[in-house]
Structure 1
């Protein structure tokens, strides 16, 4: 028996005596992660001036401000299992607050990059800890609420984040891109100080730590993330740096899987995901990320690049048609999840997302921000239903006692899947813009009769001057470029539609949800029954 191998640590902990405060802390932690990531990416242009960054430097700042998340996030669940949530989360939250406070006061590029890397490393602690608190320290009756909070951040941050960038950039100042966390993060720490259970360090698990496996997975996925983030800008395999990062990342991932299969005490053995339902479920998550990219990228890009408006112009439509419906849809999805098979909610979500993308594919240059209202409304409701129900399905098909290992893979799919989707969409939009520019511009030559007529009309408008013809030709060139952008953004919605359709086919391949705490017909034990017995009764 002494030589027997295990397949990951058991994820049991002390039950929280004040679950509502824990739930509140989880809500705020998810809120911080989602908003920080979205606000930073959208507001990056507003940071170039204060930090004195070029376009390339700003691009690398975005990478450095996000990549360290994946280096640490996969291991956070294990750290929380060993040291307890209090020791992992509270110090991280307080240090994160301090760094967010001082970043706007720093003016040297080296210090800015270093502080952003440290801040991202701490930010990577929040969401994995959220998952672990849910399954380690809450009764099973609260699991569905914890998952709802975990998934709420995805659609909520997409719409509320852009609205906040508009408010900060035009009214409060760019510093609030960071200082919003100075207000929220200390509240998280306070709630955890009050409500998080005091747990002893698991010295046995610490002694047999799989440090090599954690380092291999974190390093490999970080390399892949950097390659995906910079790939579109550096033209993928035409860049030696991107090629090296991709090859090295894949090599380290293979080494990680081999390591987990050989060591006696693996940290996240692949057996936790080697089932049809879980494998297809992760594919659904990737399809979800790809199908949401059209809405999250095309709409802001159209408003800024075609209409020439600031992000604040989308505040009204995003708040009324995005933020409010997301909150309502989350409550509704939580209620339905207790009564219906998760696959039904997933289908509802992707159907709404496909319909939203289909409407968005009709995009023309005459659209205003409010023309996107039906697209945003359907997309927000669809994203809420699809992502929430998919996460519930994945966890319902896993053993809750092995949530430490499951969480490691969930974090990898979450971060890399979103980055992969963004890279695919940005590359697609770039190529489609080039295609439409060539298609629209090729017929226009110096001998084109239509061009001469149009230029003559514009010259008469601009007035007699030596620069009038040049101004008229510039106007024609801008019109062609604008129309090419509009068509490429419409194509972005088209590819989002097809990924939503692919997701529906994948859902059709999913099997029935096993009976357990997340099954619609599961009857929770009375409150006096220990969480331990409830968890032991749940099996994958």
Structure 2
């Protein structure tokens, strides 16, 4: 492995793997571990609250602490893999991750529970960035598209298979398997890497010029911003001194990072990496995608759980049929499209499908059940598969592959940051819109309202006469109003999801074709022609 420095950061060439199939299998498992564990934790949090006797505030902070460390380490992993090689980074990480996952369900001490989740989140943050670096450093260029496809496949799978796993674990095996699944999968990742990952020497030259300050500043700033966004809705944003301190501190450290990368002799992730038209627009597409994707992923399970009271197992069949199985087909179709056509076409197709799925979901009513969402889930999954995959291909294809260390760092920041930003915005919007609709629906109702009295009279035939029957009738009316306000709020999330996809389509107008390279649609055909000559 040879490494040199330019003014904008490290340039690295890795060792090509001799067993690419096993490397791809390891990438597949590592990508799924991140997606599954993140989603399973969110979906299964109510079960964990009961298992650990946590209050709502404690559960909220447990969720934040379990996820925030990912962004602390994620941006630096690409550099660590560049210096130490994938074997030294991924294999110990996978084994320790399995041990921590084994121990967590056996813990009863509150402080230790939070500490172990923080460690687990930190280890989890290693998998995805290392996956990207393995693609560019250890796979032959002809396998790059397949490697990125595996990286992209985890998005639709993790958002949807999480409900299936939580439902199955919660109702059949026990909630402990939300953690114990990794006791099996993580060592398997390590084994595949032991067999297939190339042995590489430590890059002492790169290590000697390490930009530790830059890595610490970016990771710390993004972590503070992540925690502020994650807790912002619950603590009512700028009404909380904690949130203000987190956001101001995060922004201050981010400014410090920018200054650091501009003045140090050997920057780790120089801003020149993202200072191009294609890269900036590619990141804008990912942000629009995250906002559109979050709207549907929050509204559908939120409605089925909050309004209809369904547990995850009750809606798992919907996601299996509408998302999990079709995702493999959609990614395969996307590979075919990207081998033959410009990545922008795949992005436009995906965003159009996401807009259509959101438009269908916006017609949500109380009469809907799980299978009424089938078309929405199916179309959204197709759109997600196309957009994210094509956007990553476009980003990588528009950058210099030799600068993949810095590009990967920013991809992780945008990936995690945009998802958290979208979730926070939509969570706050959903709360405010629910209150707005509740006020509108309650406005015409008064104690002397003739329609209310007629309705209460009918309900008292069900609940009985007297004070008890009257109170139960009032409670039924209140519940109906609250449910309707919630339904309208979830419908509004679909509307936001629609317009986010439309905004992404507007961004594509300004995108230009990515330069010729390993991910360009003509690369394979030219390579074959050159081989024939």
Q: TM-score range by the shorter chain?
A: over 0.9
1:277 aligned residue: 278
Cα distance between partner residues in 1 of 2:167 and 2:75? 33
Cα distance between partner residues in 2 of 1:525 and 1:107? 59
- For residues 22-421 of structure 1, the aligned pairs below 5 Å read 22-421=23-422
- For residues 417-432 of structure 1, the aligned pairs below 5 Å read 417-432=418-433
Q: Is the 8 A contact 1:11 1:400 kept in 2?
A: no
Cα distance between partner residues in 2 of 1:230 and 1:445? 36
1:216-255 deviation per Cα after TM superposition (whole angstroms, max 9, x unaligned)? 0000000000000000000001110101111110111111
1:89-139 deviation per Cα after TM superposition (whole angstroms, max 9, x unaligned)? 000000000000110010111110000000000000000000000000111
**SS in structure 2 opposite 1:107?**
coil
Cα distance between partner residues in 1 of 2:277 and 2:431? 36
1:510 aligned residue: 511
- The reply to whether residue 448 of structure 1 matches residue 456 of structure 2 is no
**SS in structure 2 opposite 1:65?**
helix
1:469-489 deviation per Cα after TM superposition (whole angstroms, max 9, x unaligned)? 011111100110000001000
**SS in structure 1 opposite 2:233?**
helix
Cα distance between partner residues in 1 of 2:271 and 2:506? 25
- The reply to whether residue 439 of structure 1 matches residue 443 of structure 2 is no
2:486 aligned residue: 485
Q: Is the 8 A contact 1:358 1:494 kept in 2?
A: yes
Unaligned runs of 5+ in 2: none
Deviation at 1:422?
0.4
Deviation at 1:161?
1.0
Deviation at 1:525?
4.7
Moved segments of 4+, more than 3 Å: 523-526
Deviation at 1:336?
1.2
Q: Is the 8 A contact 1:11 1:135 kept in 2?
A: no
* C-alpha RMSD over aligned residues: 1.3
Cα distance between partner residues in 1 of 2:196 and 2:29? 14
Cα distance between partner residues in 2 of 1:11 and 1:459? 76
Cα distance between partner residues in 2 of 1:171 and 1:303? 21
Q: Is the 8 A contact 1:268 1:404 kept in 2?
A: yes
Cα distance between partner residues in 2 of 1:290 and 1:377? 18
Q: Is the 8 A contact 1:71 1:221 kept in 2?
A: yes
Cα distance between partner residues in 2 of 1:350 and 1:386? 6
1:346-385 deviation per Cα after TM superposition (whole angstroms, max 9, x unaligned)? 0110000000000000000000001000000000001000
Q: Is the 8 A contact 1:11 1:402 kept in 2?
A: yes
- For residues 467-478 of structure 1, the aligned pairs below 5 Å read 467-478=468-479
Deviation at 1:465?
3.6
**SS in structure 1 opposite 2:520?**
coil
TM-score normalized by structure 2? 0.97
Unaligned runs of 5+ in 1: 530-540
1:536 aligned residue: none
Cα distance between partner residues in 2 of 1:24 and 1:5? 34
How many residue pairs were aligned? Answer: 526
1:465-518 deviation per Cα after TM superposition (whole angstroms, max 9, x unaligned)? 431101111110011000000100011100000000000000111011100010
TM-score normalized by structure 1? 0.96
